[in-house]
Amino acid sequence: MTVIDEVELCFPQLLNASCRKPVQNRAAETVFLYVLLSCISVLTVILNLLVIISISHFKQLHTPTNLLLLSLAVSDFLVGLLLMPIRILHIGGCWFWGRLFCGLSGYVSFILTSTSVGNMVLISVDRYLAICDPFCYSSKVTVKRVQLCVGLCWACSVFYNGVILMDFLKQPDGYNSCHGECVVVISFITGAVDILLTFAGPITVIVVLYMRVFVVAVSQARAMRSHVTTVNQQRSVCVSKKSERKAARTLGFVVLVFLICFCPHYYPSFAGQDFSSGEEFSVFTLWLLYCNSSLNPIVYALFYPWFRRTMKLIVTLQILQPSSSDVSVL
């Protein structure tokens, strides 16, 4: 009995049925972790909210491409608003919100992360068509078609994750070893299918399309250099080479960030292990995956000049003025 009294339990009234709280020997590190993750959550919400307001408010930004950015920003905004705070509160090691909320939070987590990946694939397809088939782009990519694709992306994510998490949703506490735990477990077979559909497939599409876009961009730059006049040739070459390097860095950064954030999360599937989000390694990789939602608005929006202009209008509250939606931001 003395041992039990000395051990801090998540639910003291349940005694041996309760999970034990992890020993917090380093309070300073714990506080730092809370502050750091809270800042990431706030940053994710603010950046994605700025993108959402910009594209929704200004009429000039109501284009097919920006609708894809809007869908991506919505999913990333919900990650920062809903999922990150839940994980921050769960740092203490105990789950106090019951089995129903455990199942719901796990389901929503899978939906939002997979929807974010789907949006990234749609954006890569959009950019591929815009660069490689510019003459037919306006006829192939319309607002209604993009809206349909975005709707299908969200609907498929909801249905797909409902299927792979069916057993977990039926019994959210089925894999918990004690009260105060919320563990999501996916079998090896399901994990193998999931890694093909939500990682290997999307990253292959993104890499192939972006490489094709880069090759076409380089070819166009070289063609432009070959047609410049002798007087401006040297200047054009320098500008073109600089554009090529910038394009290479941008596209490489997009793919690199995606790989860094997602590869560790799928490591257990690569290693042939069952995936459990209750393990420390999985918690770390899950947060790394969440951080991709913080980087997406930077990668996909901050590179656009219109975002800097709209951000200034939003922060200074100029969007509250009459007819502000008609302001030219391009």
**DSSP string computed for 113-161:** HHHHHHHHHHHHHHHHHHHHSHHHHHHHS-HHHHHHHHHHHHHHHHHHH
Of residues 72, 245, 267, the one with CA closest to residue 154? 72
pLDDT at 270: 57
Q: What element of type H or E holds 185?
A: strand 185-186
Domains of the chain by start residue, with CATH: 28-326 (1.20.1070.10)
pLDDT at res. 299:
79
90-100 exposure pattern, b = at least 16 Cβ within 10 A, e = fewer: eeeebbeeeee
> Which whole-number Å values give the CA distances from 56 to 68, 69, 83, in the listed order?
12, 11, 24
Cα–Cα distance measured from residue 243 to residue 225, given in angstroms and rounded to the nearest whole number = 12
H helix or E strand, kind and range, residue 61: none
If you count them, how many residues does the chain have?
330
Neighbours of 164 (CB within 10 A): 19
Please give the structure tokens belonging to residue 166: 């069916």
Residues 287 and 85: their CA atoms lie apart, in Å, by 11
Got the DSSP string for 8-33?
PBSSGGGGGGBPBPPP---HHHHHHH
pLDDT for position 146: 94
Q: What pLDDT shows up at residue 2?
A: 42
Sign of the torsion formed by the C-alpha atoms of 229, 234, 239 and 245 = positive
Nearest to 79 by CA among 262, 290, 288: 290
**Cβ atoms within 10 A of the Cβ of 135, count?**
6
Q: What is the pTM of this model?
A: 0.83
In this structure, the number of other CB atoms found within 10 A of the CB of residue 185 comes to: 18
Nearest to 73 by CA among 299, 288, 305: 299
Specify the amino acid at residue 217.
A
pLDDT in tens, the chain (330 residues): 444 444 577 777 766 777 777 655 566 777 888 899 999 999 999 999 999 999 999 989 998 988 998 999 999 999 999 999 988 887 767 788 888 888 898 899 889 988 988 998 998 888 888 888 888 888 888 999 999 999 999 999 999 999 999 888 888 877 777 777 788 777 778 877 888 888 888 888 888 888 888 787 777 667 766 665 444 444 444 544 554 445 445 556 777 787 788 777 766 555 555 554 445 666 788 788 888 888 888 877 667 788 888 888 998 988 988 888 888 887
